[in-house]
Amino acid sequence: MKKVELLAPAGDLEKLKIAVMYGADAVYFGGEHFSLRAGAGNFTLDEMKEGIAFCHERGVKCHMALNIFAHNEDIGPFKEYLRNVKDLGIDAFIAADPGVIDMIWEVMPDAEIHLSTQANMTNYRTAKFWHDRGIRRLVLARELTLEEIREIRENIPPDMELEAFVHGAMCISYSGRCLLSNFMIERDANRGMCAHPCRWKYALVEQQRPGEYYPVEEDDRGTYIMNSKDLCLIEHIPELIDAGISSFKIEGRMKSVFYVATVVSAYRKAIDSYFKDPQSYSFRQQWMEDLCKASHREFTTGFYFHKPDNLDQNYRTSDYTRDYSFVGIVKSYDPDTGYAKVEQRNKMVLGDRVEVFGPMTDFFEQEISEMYDEEGEAISSAPHPQQIIKIKMAKPVEPFFMLRKRKE
């Protein structure tokens, strides 16, 4: 049985490295232009070169998102941009617009193209259409059930791969082709500038009664419309594999490095556990508990097992649950002294109890009992962003290990 790919978001170079170190088989990222996450850090050409080299040295593939719906004014600059990236060693391009796909192949005839979820691929006849035109991977529409995915797998050529979202935010419009952002504040979601108006708070007002708000839901908080819970399928690894999904995709190019490390690590452990012994595999609740330590909203299984109803929407709040703070990342460790050099990400003080975790390890807890600044002076607090400090560790650690602290 071929092992399923774990595909992680890389919103910037640091997130790419974190995704790789915490177990991703492949990463997807956008450049400074022509992807659907203009608000992410994204990559300059030099950062792409560094990131691709980092990945390839570790056997990890790089997928570049070029999934805008191009307007006439985009065509000239887009083709020039393709010429700039064609020799970087990108393993695959993610695209939806047929014209964009055509231009990619015009500049790079041998390029591997993955059909973006923005193309709304929902049936096996459409899959065959794209296969006949050279596409070898489909990023499935979020509206598909697991049984529909299974049927698609059974009716397409064996060399066509299926990629599906398994975790993260859900766009509430047809596979993410949202029109609200463009309509309401002239920021085009289909060209990378979505303002996420589906997360805003709304109330209904009758034209002749300004200022009188009619509650759509029977409570006094107003309401949240079009506000899905976050997708989470970590409890359903065997079913997803059995349906023929080749790649598990995590959403989140605009999420933090802490989020990327936490989510990738949990799915890596679950996938590896399953493939180690499929017959005796059992889900560990610890994986879900670890997931919930990163910023998240309530979870749903989306369309996979049933048509979403009111229970899959979040009518109370669009806020995220953030029970833990990401307080530091290990830059180096001296095994002789037991001290780690740590880059601060949120305030730490002596006496804090923190959890320390790293790639493919279970976390351990410790108290911050000693802390020193870069000059070696003892300090009681590390309040400055990205301050470099030295901490006595209870157990050995390595670069990229992280420290998190439960919020009071």
Give yes or no for residue 70 having a pLDDT over 80: yes
Q: Name the strand (E) or helix (H) holding 125.
A: helix 124-132
Cβ atoms 62, 89 nearer than 8 A: yes
DSSP reduced 3-state for 210: coil
* Centroid of chain to Cα 234: 14
pLDDT computed for residue 222 by the predictor: 38
Cβ atoms 224, 316 nearer than 8 A: yes
Closest CA to 196 of 171, 217, 225: 171
Selected residue with higher pLDDT from 46 and 190:
46
Q: Which residue has the tokens 């419009």?
A: 173
Strands 299-300 and 204-205: unpaired
List the structure tokens of 15: 């997130």
Q: Is the pTM of this model over 0.75?
A: yes
The per-residue pLDDT for range 79-91, each reduced to its tens digit, is 999 999 999 999 9
The answer for residues whose C-beta is within 8 angstroms of residue 323's C-beta and 6 or more apart is 292, 293, 406, 407
Per-residue confidence band for 140, with pLDDT thresholds at 50, 70 and 90: very high
Please tell me the distance from the alpha carbon of residue 282 to that of residue 189, in angstroms, as a whole number.
40
The answer for residues whose C-beta is within 8 angstroms of residue 284's C-beta and 6 or more apart is 269, 270, 273
pLDDT computed for residue 210 by the predictor: 78
Residue 168 sits at φ, ψ, to 5 deg, of 130, -170
Give yes or no for residue 36 having a pLDDT over 70: no
The domain ranges of the chain are 5-175+227-312, 324-406
Per-residue confidence band for 33, with pLDDT thresholds at 50, 70 and 90: confident
Alpha-carbon distances, residue 5 vs 129, 160, 161, 378 (angstroms): 24, 14, 11, 46
Question: What CATH number labels 324-406?
Answer: 2.40.30.10
Cβ atoms 107, 82 nearer than 8 A: yes
Q: What's the alpha-carbon Rg for the chain, to the nearest Å?
A: 23
List the structure tokens of 151: 């049927």
> What average pLDDT does range 148-153 have in this prediction?
98
Q: Hey, CA dihedral for 271, 236, 16, 117, is it positive or negative?
A: positive
Cβ atoms 249, 139 nearer than 8 A: yes
pLDDT computed for residue 225 by the predictor: 44
* Centroid of chain to Cα 122: 22
At the fourth CATH level, which superfamily is domain 5-175+227-312?
Aldolase class I (3.20.20.70)
Eight-class DSSP state of 266: H
Cβ atoms 31, 48 nearer than 8 A: yes
Least trusted range by pLDDT, from 167-171, 321-325, 357-361 = 167-171
Give yes or no for residue 12 having a pLDDT over 60: yes
